[in-house]
Structure 1
Amino acid sequence: MNKKAILLVNLGSPLSPKVGDVRRYLRQFLMDGRVINKSYLFRWMLVNLVIAPFRSRKSAKAYRAIWSGNSFPLIRTGHEVAAKLQLALGDEYEVYLAMRYQQPSIESILTEIQSKGFSSIKVIPLFPQYASATSGSVVQEVMRIVSRWAVIPKITFVDKFYDAPLFSKAFTSIAKSHTNIATYDAFIFSYHGIPKSQLGAGTRDHVCLNTLCEYCERITADNEYCYRAQCVRTTQRIARALRLPVARAVTSFQSRLGREEWTGPYTHDVIDAFGMQGKKKILVFSPAFVADCLETTIEIGEEYKDMFHQQYGGTLDLVPSLNTNPVWIQLLRELAIDAAIPTSAAGSKIVPLTKLDISLN
């Protein structure tokens, strides 16, 4: 068979907003050694005795707010994107969608792909910036599964795509179509945070110990996999495309979990700082997410919005994620056929397995 399989993979959602389903999702997600990179015993006790029992009920309430049509936005949007990409690619390709956690699982989809005998598989983790806890985890899970196959076809991975020209173009077009940029006096680019201890895994000779460092202001051959540096670069590209004043476009991080120090500055602290400076209208971008989900719709769109209004009487608006934007589908098509051209040596590219941070243990 000469047909090629394209596997899109996102993070995943619980099967339902029921507390039990949310607890199972949290356990599977947080027991991933790339998400919480501690010893297995410590991780097991932390997740099963502390986080899952106490956090699942609160998270279930938030998930109920975005539950519609017997599904969550992340899953529905994922299927819509896969269908649109299939139309864009044509009969030479077959597009599949999987979730790293819960359903549809990577294993179930790869089993289906294996049964059809494709000549090649291209895996596209739907995370713009590379991080060990996201793209790295997807690669590890895919290789864990296919390593058991008798015949392993050619497999390639897209490691990151934040620097592909169409990525910033897509966010720019969405922002312009949903808002009047000129009416805002501050701009926040909020990314999902990771523990600061994980930042050093993305650099060669540099371990990130400080909230700010010279490496984060530019991408080099030494730090192209540093998550924070990639986020700063993403902010710079989108802000430049929108002609935003550099001093008013801040990179920050949200969704902190636990007491360990995470990537900073934290989004809620940046909102506080803008409020104390007298800013009254903030526009927030969330370029770590390609589809609206709990972190965008609830955390930013409701919690941060209410916080800013109640404490400072201001307005905070969220730029929608890429979702099914046509430019985003065009970018995925280019990634699928190896046509996405990066703007720098550290931009979007297809990489061999050996270049990624992978452990099959």
Structure 2
Amino acid sequence: MSKGVLLVNLGSPDSTDPKDVKRYLGEFLMDERVIDVPYWARTLLVKGIVLNTRPKQSAAAYQKIWWDEGSPLIVLSERLQSKINENTSIPISLAMRYGTPNIHDGLKGLHDQGVDEVLLFPLYPQFAMATTETILVLAEELRKKYFPEMSFTNVPSFYNHPDYVRTLANSISEYLEGKKFEHLLFSYHGVPERHIRKSDITNSHCKIDGSCCKTPSTAHQFCYRHQCFETTRLVAETLGLKPNTYSVSFQSRLGFDPWLKPYTDRTIERFGKQGMKNLAIVTPAFVSDCLETLEEIAMEGQEIFHEVGGDQFHVVPCLNDREEWVKVLSRWIDEWAFQTVEA
């Protein structure tokens, strides 16, 4: 069998033109694992309301962070793919769950190179319905329809993998070296609370009550909230952070349903109002910098902090195409390709 890898990230509009942004948002928000309500309700919300108001706002946000080469997330993902290609000897393809290049084209690119055994690699450390699960479900649908001779191996969530934890900790330590900060905020992408309960394979463990994430359970295999807190605990332990010098928050909520708390924007505001002057933030739900890290955190978050009296606001870059991260991913891939051990 001939082996290859499909790296999959979130995606981005093709440009900052509101029409391209609208097309991208439509694909993203109509995903039943992103907005998990009945189709008629999702259509009414997305096509009847959101797509009539949000594209111009989002386009303006993308314009603030867009690079000459294109979308930061796409450019950084391509750089990562290129560097991994240089460090491995099997084909490495790149796809986005939404927008282009899409998963079908990524699989076709591998198929055209003779690949029939694919390592599906969602670039998300923590498992969530709206990230890892939607990638795996769509990829399997495409495999059955267009590439039935292919077989898939799925990379499990790597939120607690020692290699990932060490690499993330090193990136934080190196970026913040010499910088003054009083607190390190681990800000993760938010999801509705109901997503946590829907992902609970025990149908009873996840109560989001402050204790369930610390109580051992098979539910943790697919619990985004637990995995976020566990990533934070392991990284803080690696960095030797003292209690009360770090915390967790969740960003990017949408709509009026309860989302995971505490909210990042309100946490930043609270810190400033309490007299904190120097704050550092890291965003471990993303491996590539994107709109949520470059605009929502680095720009909007900083503005909030300064408005309430804060001074220094440090945002740790994502792992992006960091050399240590490239070596880790390349080694995981080689282990799968040549030693047939779990990545």
Bin of the TM-score, shorter chain as denominator length: over 0.9
CA-to-partner distance for each residue in 1:192-247, whole Å, 9 max, x for gaps? Answer: 0001110013323335444x421223553232211000000011111111111122
Aligned pairs (5 A) from 1:1-361: 2-90=1-89, 93-149=90-146, 151-180=148-177, 183-205=180-202, 206=204, 208-210=206-208, 212-217=209-214, 220-338=217-335
Which sections of structure 2, spanning at least 5 residues, go unmatched? Answer: none
Shift of 1:69: 2.3
Equivalent pairs: percent with the same residue? 34
How many Å separate the matches in 2 of 1:214 and 1:289? 25
Cross-structure match for 1:356: none
Cross-structure match for 1:343: none
Mean alpha-carbon deviation: is it higher for 168-177 or for 13-22?
A: 168-177
Shift of 1:167: 1.2
Are the counterparts in 2 of residues 219 and 229 from structure 1 also a CA contact under 8 Å?
no
Pick closer, same or farther for the CA change 1:325–1:215 going to 2, 3 Å.
same
Are the counterparts in 2 of residues 135 and 159 from structure 1 also a CA contact under 8 Å?
no
Paired residue type of 1:99: M
Shift of 1:55: 1.0
Pick closer, same or farther for the CA change 1:202–1:349 going to 2, 3 Å.
farther
Shift of 1:179: 1.7
How many Å separate the matches in 2 of 1:116 and 1:80? 21
Are the counterparts in 2 of residues 3 and 94 from structure 1 also a CA contact under 8 Å?
no
SS in 2 for 1:134: helix
Mean alpha-carbon deviation: is it higher for 235-244 or for 281-290?
A: 235-244
How many Å separate the matches in 2 of 1:111 and 1:190? 36
Pick closer, same or farther for the CA change 1:59–1:228 going to 2, 3 Å.
same
Shift of 1:116: 2.9
Shift of 1:277: 2.6
Pick closer, same or farther for the CA change 1:100–1:36 going to 2, 3 Å.
same
Shift of 1:87: 1.1
How many Å separate the matches in 1 of 2:62 and 2:135? 23
Pick closer, same or farther for the CA change 1:74–1:218 going to 2, 3 Å.
farther
Pick closer, same or farther for the CA change 1:150–1:85 going to 2, 3 Å.
closer
Q: Would you identify which runs of 4 or more consecutive aligned residues in structure 1 move more than 4 Å?
A: none
Coordinate RMSD, CA, aligned: 2.0
Pick closer, same or farther for the CA change 1:222–1:70 going to 2, 3 Å.
closer
Shift of 1:310: 1.4
Are the counterparts in 2 of residues 162 and 168 from structure 1 also a CA contact under 8 Å?
yes
Shift of 1:307: 0.7
Pick closer, same or farther for the CA change 1:120–1:297 going to 2, 3 Å.
same
Are the counterparts in 2 of residues 160 and 349 from structure 1 also a CA contact under 8 Å?
no
How many Å separate the matches in 1 of 2:283 and 2:2? 35
How many Å separate the matches in 2 of 1:143 and 1:214? 35
SS in 2 for 1:100: strand
Mean alpha-carbon deviation: is it higher for 60-69 or for 197-206?
A: 197-206
Aligned residues: 339
How many Å separate the matches in 1 of 2:264 and 2:216? 22
TM-score (norm 1): 0.89
Shift of 1:181: 6.6
How many Å separate the matches in 1 of 2:250 and 2:205? 19
CA-to-partner distance for each residue in 1:118-155, whole Å, 9 max, x for gaps? Answer: 14100100011011111100001111111024642221
Which sections of structure 1, spanning at least 5 residues, go unmatched? Answer: 340-347, 351-361
Shift of 1:182: 7.2
How many Å separate the matches in 1 of 2:319 and 2:275? 31
SS in 2 for 1:52: helix
Are the counterparts in 2 of residues 202 and 224 from structure 1 also a CA contact under 8 Å?
no
How many Å separate the matches in 2 of 1:159 and 1:42? 32
SS in 2 for 1:122: strand
